[in-house]
Structure 1
Amino acid sequence: MVNLNVKLPGLKLKNPVMPASGTFGFGDVAAAQKYDLNKLGALVIKTTTPNKRVGNPQPQIAVLDDGVLNSVGLTNPGVEQVINEKLVALKKLYPNLPIIASVGAEDEAGYLTVTNQLSRARLVDALEINLSCPNVAQGGMTFGVHPKMVARITSAIKQKVKLPIYIKLTPNVTNIQEIARAAEDGGADGLVLINTVMGMRIDIASRKPLLGNNIGGYSGRGIKPIALYLVHQVRVATQLPIIGMGGIETASDVVEFMLAGANAVEVGSAHFHNPLVCPEIIQALPRVLDDLGVSDINDLVGQVKFN
Structure 2
Amino acid sequence: MGNDAAMNTIRPAAAVSLGRGLDLKSPVMLASGTVSYGEELSRLCNLGKIGGIVTKAISLEPRTGNPPQRIAETASGMVNAIGLANVGVDRFISEKAPFLRGLDTATVVNIAGRSIDDYLEVVSRLDGVEGLDGYEINLSCPNVKGECMIMGVSRDATFEIVSELRKATRRHLMIKLTPNVTSISSIALAAEEAGADSVSLINTLVGMAVNYRTRKPLIKNVTGGLSGPAIKPVALAKVWEVYNAVKIPVVGMGGIGSFEDAMEFLLVGASAVQIGTMNFVYPDISQRVAEAVEAHFSAPGAPAYRDYVGSLIV
- From 81, 86, 89, the equivalent of 1:76 is 86
What is the CA-CA distance between 1:54 and the residue it aligns to?
A: 0.3
**Structure 2 gaps, min length 5:** 1-10
Q: Is the 8 Å Cα contact of residues 24 and 32 (structure 1) preserved in structure 2?
A: no
Per the alignment, residue 25 of structure 1 pairs with 36
**Structure 1 gaps, min length 5:** none
Q: Is the 8 Å Cα contact of residues 168 and 194 (structure 1) preserved in structure 2?
A: yes
Deviations 1:60-95 (A, max 9, x none): 111334012110000001001001111123213x2x
Superposition map of 1:83-162 within 5 A: 83-92=93-102, 94=103, 96-162=104-170
Partner SS, residue 144 of structure 2: coil
Per the alignment, residue 5 of structure 2 pairs with none
Per the alignment, residue 206 of structure 1 pairs with 214
Q: Is the 8 Å Cα contact of residues 21 and 102 (structure 1) preserved in structure 2?
A: yes
Match status 1:166 vs 2:177: no
Q: Is the 8 Å Cα contact of residues 184 and 238 (structure 1) preserved in structure 2?
A: yes
Q: Runs (4+) of structure 1 moved beyond 3 Å?
A: 286-293
Question: Within 2, Cα distance between the matches of 1:250 and 1:298?
Answer: 20
- From 54, 60, 67, the equivalent of 1:50 is 60
Q: Is the 8 Å Cα contact of residues 113 and 147 (structure 2) preserved in structure 1?
A: yes
Question: Within 1, Cα distance between the matches of 2:220 and 2:176?
Answer: 25
Per the alignment, residue 66 of structure 1 pairs with 76
Per the alignment, residue 256 of structure 1 pairs with 264
Question: Within 1, Cα distance between the matches of 2:26 and 2:298?
Answer: 15
CA root-mean-square deviation: 1.6
Question: Within 2, Cα distance between the matches of 1:21 and 1:32?
Answer: 15
Given the superposition, is the C-alpha separation of residues 291 and 63 from structure 1 closer, same or farther in structure 2, using an over 3 Å criterion?
farther
Length-normalised TM-score, structure 2 = 0.93
In structure 2, what residue type is equivalent to 1:273?
A: V
In structure 2, what residue type is equivalent to 1:18?
A: M
Length-normalised TM-score, structure 1 = 0.95
Q: Is the 8 Å Cα contact of residues 2 and 296 (structure 1) preserved in structure 2?
A: no
In structure 2, what residue type is equivalent to 1:173?
A: V
Partner SS, residue 100 of structure 1: strand
Q: Is the 8 Å Cα contact of residues 3 and 295 (structure 1) preserved in structure 2?
A: no
Q: Is the 8 Å Cα contact of residues 39 and 279 (structure 1) preserved in structure 2?
A: yes
Q: Is the 8 Å Cα contact of residues 252 and 288 (structure 1) preserved in structure 2?
A: no
Partner SS, residue 247 of structure 2: coil
What is the CA-CA distance between 1:139 and the residue it aligns to?
A: 1.8
In structure 1, what residue type is equivalent to 2:31?
A: A
Partner SS, residue 128 of structure 2: helix
What is the CA-CA distance between 1:2 and the residue it aligns to?
A: 7.4
In structure 1, what residue type is equivalent to 2:73?
A: V
Per the alignment, residue 218 of structure 1 pairs with 226
Identity %: 39
- From 171, 184, 191, the equivalent of 1:183 is 191
